[in-house]
Structure 1
Amino acid sequence: MSTMNQSGRIALVTGGSRGIGRSIALNAAQRGVGIILTYNSRVAEAEGVVAAIRALGGKAMALQLDSARVGTFDDFAGRVAAVLRAEWGRDRFDYLVNNAGIAQRSLIADTTEEIFDQLVDVNFKGVFFLTKKLLPLLADGGQVINISSGLARLTFPGVAVYGALKAGLETLTRYFAKEYAGRKLRFNVVAPGAIDTDFGGGKGDDAHKQQIAAATALGRLGEAEDVGLFVAGMLSDDSRFVNAQRIEVGGGIGL
């Protein structure tokens, strides 16, 4: 594509090997954004995304990251800095998309401390400390997009901790926007509704899917591409005056 790499911007997308993260990475790359994506264990899928971007003439790299292991973030930041220098000849990137997360499928009565801690470590603590660690590498005037969930607004049995953590993440996003305003950094939240991926929200039997579609104004479940296209559009100067906002991409679910 002739438009590849025209923007000169670079985005780091966590959890970029599949689902929504994969769609964000691919759509951003199609708009000329260089991509650093992370994966936890699915190295083949991550390299597949990198190959797809390179086949279109874009530039991408995949780095391993376990978002629950805060102690590894120093090393990760060093690897990001090295990749920026080696692949782009730069010492800063422009956009951070905190997409990596884990789902919950347990009623409150069945939620153990282990389950609780895992959810906190990945969906809240990891996002906080990874963002903090990477901010010195983020260019002034850049943007952080945190991927939340419609479950921060809607309530369903079995996802209490996950939904509460996403609500907390949305509040935390506004605090980041306040404290880093001096660097003209923007922090926004994109909250997917029920999305038909293997992560959670949209998956289930046909009856379950039909129930969710019926509760959505646009009459269908979301697809990863619905979110990926929107977030990729946010990764540009078109959103330059959007800050400290929560935007739900859910087709009007639960109206």
Structure 2
Amino acid sequence: MTTPTPRHEGRTALVTGGSRGIGRAVSRRLAREGALVAVHYGHDETAAERTVKEIEADGGRAFPVHAELGVPGDADTLWAAFDRALAERGAEPGVDILVNNAGITVPRRIDAVTEADYDRVFAINTKAPFFIVQRGLNRLRDGGRIVNISSVVTRMAYPHLVSYAMTKAALDHLTLTLAQELGPRGITVNAVAPGYTETEINPTLAVPEIRRRYSEASVFGRLGDPADIADAVSFLASDDARWVTGQWLDASGGAHLGV
């Protein structure tokens, strides 16, 4: 019996914030399915190198790409580093899968958010992916995939994360616009919206009562695992999802259904 070809074989992927949490899980999943993965990181080089080594230990291919997001020229810096790394490896220029995952939170109510907080969270979560896509249009191959990591907080009132939710809501609209703009090139654009997920971005999970409450929000009675999100991203990045675009996929484990 012939062994099926991995669904992302021969493709090149770029995952922003790809060294930790959901990004790490996405990087590993895409690589396991055959993609050459650029693992982007902003500050934690050790984590990026670790993720690359994990991918290689599993028989996959990956390389780290460094660029601080949320600063002037971040998208140009990222793509220059990406282009350079591909050239060094003798790989074909261009990208097939772009996952806009990098993001930060500002866990404060509206009366406590400073202008500096607001500017930083929008610079990283909204401005950076906008210009990463804009600067990457000439690199993104026809038939490619863009997956934006959103959040279920865009569909509910969540006072403690008001500015974060606003950034993700803007990303949701960008998803719709890009899907329409890039459709003629056969490029699909979708958003995946995690709920309460076991990652470092949410330090409150260390508080037992909060952890219990977040777990009970899901119909499955547990927190999401980064791999749960990575599997959804891998599907949307595959040819199986070729007829799916402009969509917002709830990957929250049914958090707050009926509430």
Per the normalisation by structure 1, the TM-score is: 0.94
Q: Is the 8 A contact 1:193 1:201 kept in 2?
A: no
Give, as a single letter, the amino acid of the residue that structure 2 aligns with 1:44. Answer: T
| Structure 1 residue aligned with 2:115 | 113
Q: AA paired with 1:50?
A: V
Query: 1:88 offset after TM fit, Å?
Result: 4.9
3-state SS in 2 of match to 1:197: coil
Identity of aligned residues (%): 34
Counterpart among 202, 207, 210 of residue 208 in structure 1: 210
Over 6 Å off, 4+ runs: 2-6
Deviation at 1:46, TM superposition (A): 0.3
Taking structure 1 as reference, are residues 201 and 216 closer, same or farther at Cα in structure 2, changes over 3 Å only? Answer: farther
Q: CA shift at 1:84, angstroms?
A: 2.4
Looking at structure 1, the residues matched to 5 and 52 of structure 2 have their Cα atoms a distance apart, in angstroms, of 18
Among 159, 162, 181, the alignment partner of 1:160 is 162
Aligned AA (2:160): G
**Letter matched to residue 200 of structure 2:** D
The whole-number CA distance in structure 1 between the counterparts of 2:5 and 2:50 is 21
Amino acid at match of 1:238: D
| DSSP-derived class of the 1:241 partner | coil
Shift of 1:213: 2.0
Task: Find the aligned partners of 2:33 and 2:14 in 1 and give their Cα distance.
Answer: 15
What amino acid is the match of 1:174?
Answer: L
Partner of residue 133 from structure 2, selected from 117, 124, 131: 131
**What aligned pairs does 1:56-71 form with structure 2 within 5 A after superposition?**
56-71=58-73
Matched, 1:94 2:99: no
* 1:246 paired residue number: 248
Q: What is the CA deviation profile of residues 170-200 of structure 1, one whole-angstrom value per residue up to 9, with x for unaligned ones?
A: 0111001112222121110000011011112
On the 8 A contact 1:5/1:58 being kept in 2, the answer is: no
Asked if 1:178 corresponds to 2:180, the answer is: yes
What SS does the aligned partner of 2:213 have?
Answer: helix
Alignment RMSD (CA, Å)? 2.0
- Runs of 5+ unmatched residues, structure 2: none
1:202/1:218 Cα in 2 relative to 1: closer, same or farther (>3 Å)?
farther
TM-score computed with the length of structure 2 as normaliser: 0.93
| Residues 96/170 of structure 1: CA separation in 2 closer, same or farther (3 Å cut) | same
In structure 2, the partner of 1:169 is: 171
The equivalent of 1:236 in structure 2 is 238
Instruction: For 2:104 and 2:155, locate their aligned partners in 1 and report how far apart those are by CA, in whole Å.
Output: 18
Mapped to 2, the partners of 1:4 and 1:111 lie a distance apart of 45
Determine the C-alpha separation between the residues in 1 that align with 2:186 and 2:204: 36
Unaligned 5+ segments in structure 1 are none
May I ask how many residue pairs the two structures share in their alignment? 255
Which residue identity lines up with residue 80 of structure 1 in the other structure? F
Q: Say whether the 8 Å CA contact 2:10–2:36 is kept in structure 1.
A: yes
